[in-house]
């Protein structure tokens, strides 16, 4: 067997000018030259636009609400009669809810209980210490706690630490 590269080298096939070259498979499947109707050719990016953080947005919202309240107050003062009585068609628009001033009633759902050790949801309560725990491994840890450590965990939750 002759060593590699010792044989005659074949000339690569060059397409002749009389035969046009056929497109490769990648060129046939390419979408590069297809029109893109979803892109707007006249679109230009607005370079003056900048992002605002939450604090700036809330400050602007509060300022807008303050200006609106002031405008309504001035309108009301202009509508007032000479003797100080308000006009009959005046409505209480001061109590309109806005994004930052709306208040909600208390929830109908029960308050969620969390494990005093891990912070995960704690559906179980140790009867001896009153500590809430997540699972069996945490319960075994709670059984090994001293009374003062259990009191510390309960006081961190804001419960009057009464250990039996």
pLDDT in tens, 35-59: 777 878 788 888 777 788 889 888 9
125 alpha carbon, distance to own chain's centre? 33
Predicted pLDDT of residue 32? 82
47-51, 100-104, 112-116, 127-131, range with the lowest pLDDT: 100-104
In the chain, pLDDT over 70 holds for what percent of residues? 71
Question: What whole-number percentage of the chain has pLDDT above 90?
Answer: 29
Cα dihedral value 146, 152, 153, 154, nearest 10: 110
Supply the DSSP symbol for 76: H
Rounded to the nearest integer, the mean pLDDT of the chain is 80
Residue 114 or 44, more confident: 114
Total Cβ atoms within 10 A of residue 65: 15
Asked if 101 and 107 count as a contact pair (C-beta separation under 8 A), the reply is: no
Q: What are the tokens at 158?
A: 């804001």
Of 91, 96, 43, the C-alpha closest to 68 is: 96
- C-alpha of 63 from chain center: 24
Say how many C-beta atoms besides its own lie within 10 A of residue 85's C-beta. Answer: 9
* Residue 101 confidence (pLDDT): 66
Give yes or no for residue 6 having a pLDDT over 90.
no
**For residue 130, is pLDDT > 60?**
yes
> Could you tell me the two tokens for 5?
């590269």
């Amino acid at each position: 067997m002759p060593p590699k590269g010792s044989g005659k080298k074949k000339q690569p096939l060059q397409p002749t000018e009389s035969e046009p070259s056929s497109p490769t498979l990648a060129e046939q499947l390419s979408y590069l030259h297809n029109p893109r109707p979803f892109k707007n050719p006249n679109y230009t990016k607005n370079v003056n636009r900048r992002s605002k953080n939450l604090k700036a947005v809330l400050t602007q919202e509060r300022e807008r609400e303050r200006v609106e309240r002031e405008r309504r107050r001035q309108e009301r003062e202009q509508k007032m009669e000479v003797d100080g009585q308000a006009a009959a068609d005046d409505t209480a628009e001061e109590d309109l809810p806005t994004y930052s001033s709306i208040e909600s009633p208390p929830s109908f759902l029960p308050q969620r209980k969390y494990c005093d050790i891990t912070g995960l949801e704690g559906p179980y309560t140790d009867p001896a210490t009153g500590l809430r725990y997540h699972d069996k491994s945490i319960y075994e840890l709670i059984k090994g706690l001293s009374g003062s450590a259990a009191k510390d965990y309960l006081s961190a939750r804001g419960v009057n630490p009464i250990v039996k």
